[in-house]
């Protein structure tokens, strides 16, 4: 029996994450560059071998692989980030790094998983979580630790709510924090690529969260130019006020 795509995304992300945990334990943190490079390479090779065996007719777009533009004519494309949050992966004690596995089919994301190996969990479209309630009077916002949107302070002042900023590492960990109710929104405008958000957005859509560009337009995947520079993921009750606020301060 062929494993369905939702379960396959979940299992591959989880297994690649387990590989990364073993690699981290074996190598230690003395040479962080070597650890980062090994993590990117080994997770990528593991996923590519799995797709070759289990979905040999599908195309793959990986951050760590050569971009084959034949994917533009394919009906099924796996979009993966073998190690999202490479910086955090090489920092001892940090759990905000992830493995992203998403499936794009004929213009839309249809399956995906975000593994958070150091947190011992994987969020996926196979078993969507229940989105927690939100307190609209106190909004917790996460963003890039190193490249926060230049408008983020103006946005906080514009919103009719108390705003708390919560630093988190990888994009996958940020979106997972939204879906688990640890924060309420993720705002990014400092540049990204499709593999940074495809799996997190697939999972966000599965639980009913809002996910779009910061101007409210849809996120498009499997494009010739893989740059996808900004994103808003949030509880759906917050989307109208956040989008209006961003429009007002830009």
Q: Quick one: pLDDT at residue 25?
A: 97
Domain-embedded: residue 129:
no
Residues of the chain with pLDDT under 50: none
Q: Quick one: pLDDT at residue 92?
A: 95
| Structural domain boundaries enclosing 178 | 138-249
* Beta strand pairing call for 231-234 and 185-188: antiparallel
Tell me: is residue 58 an annotated ligand-binding position.
no
Q: Are residues 189 and 242 in the same domain?
A: yes
Domain-embedded: residue 207:
yes
Domain edge (last residue) among 75, 91, 124: 124
Domain-embedded: residue 133:
no
For 52, counting Cβ atoms within 10 Å of its Cβ (0-12 exposed, 13-18 middle, 19+ buried), the class is exposed
Integer angstrom CA distances of residue 125 from 29, 57, 158, 161: 33, 22, 34, 32
Estimate the crossing angle of helix 5-27 against helix 32-54, to 10 degrees: 150
Q: Quick one: pLDDT at residue 1?
A: 52
Q: Quick one: pLDDT at residue 3?
A: 77
Q: Quick one: pLDDT at residue 213?
A: 97
Tell me: is residue 11 an annotated ligand-binding position.
no
Q: Quick one: pLDDT at residue 52?
A: 97
Domain total in the chain: 2
Domain-embedded: residue 130:
no
Q: Quick one: pLDDT at residue 148?
A: 87
Tell me: is residue 84 an annotated ligand-binding position.
yes
Q: Quick one: pLDDT at residue 144?
A: 86
Q: Are residues 120 and 164 in the same domain?
A: no
What is the pTM for the complete model shown? Answer: 0.95
Domain-embedded: residue 11:
yes
Tell me: is residue 5 an annotated ligand-binding position.
no
Q: What is the DSSP string of 75-128?
A: SEEEEEEEEE-HHHHTSTT----EEEEEEEETTEEEEEEEEEGGGTEEEESSSP
Average pLDDT, the chain: 96
* Distance separating alpha carbons of residues 135 and 160, to the nearest angstrom: 12
Q: Are residues 12 and 115 in the same domain?
A: yes
Residue 69: how many CB atoms within 10 A of its CB? Answer: 9
Tell me: is residue 150 an annotated ligand-binding position.
no
Domain edge (last residue) among 102, 124, 146: 124
Q: Are residues 149 and 76 in the same domain?
A: no
* Distance separating alpha carbons of residues 169 and 176, to the nearest angstrom: 11
């Amino acid at each position: 029996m062929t494993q369905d795509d939702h379960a396959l995304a979940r299992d591959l992300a989880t297994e690649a994450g387990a590989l990364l945990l073993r690699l981290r334990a074996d190598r230690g943190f003395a040479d962080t560059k070597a650890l980062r490079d090994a993590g990117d390479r080994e997770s990528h090779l593991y996923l590519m071998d799995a797709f070759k065996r289990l979905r040999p007719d599908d195309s793959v777009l990986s951050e760590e692989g050569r971009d084959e533009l034949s994917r533009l004519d394919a009906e099924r494309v796996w979009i993966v980030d073998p190690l999202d949050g490479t910086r955090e992966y090489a920092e001892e004690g940090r759990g905000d790094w992830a493995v992203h596995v998403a499936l794009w089919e004929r213009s839309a994301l249809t399956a995906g998983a975000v593994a958070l190996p150091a947190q011992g969990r994987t969020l996926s479209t196979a078993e969507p979580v229940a989105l927690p309630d939100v307190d609209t009077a106190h909004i917790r916002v996460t963003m890039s630790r190193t490249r926060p949107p230049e408008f983020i302070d103006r946005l906080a002042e514009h919103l009719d709510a108390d705003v708390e900023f919560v630093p988190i590492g990888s994009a996958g960990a940020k979106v997972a924090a939204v879906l688990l109710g640890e924060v309420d929104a993720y705002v990014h405008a400092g540049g990204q690529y499709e593999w940074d958000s495809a799996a997190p957005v697939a999972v966000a859509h599965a639980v009913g969260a809002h996910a779009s560009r910061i101007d409210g337009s849809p996120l498009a995947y499997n494009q010739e130019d893989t740059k996808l520079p900004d994103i808003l993921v949030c509880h759906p009750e917050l989307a109208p006020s956040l989008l209006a606020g961003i429009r007002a301060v830009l």
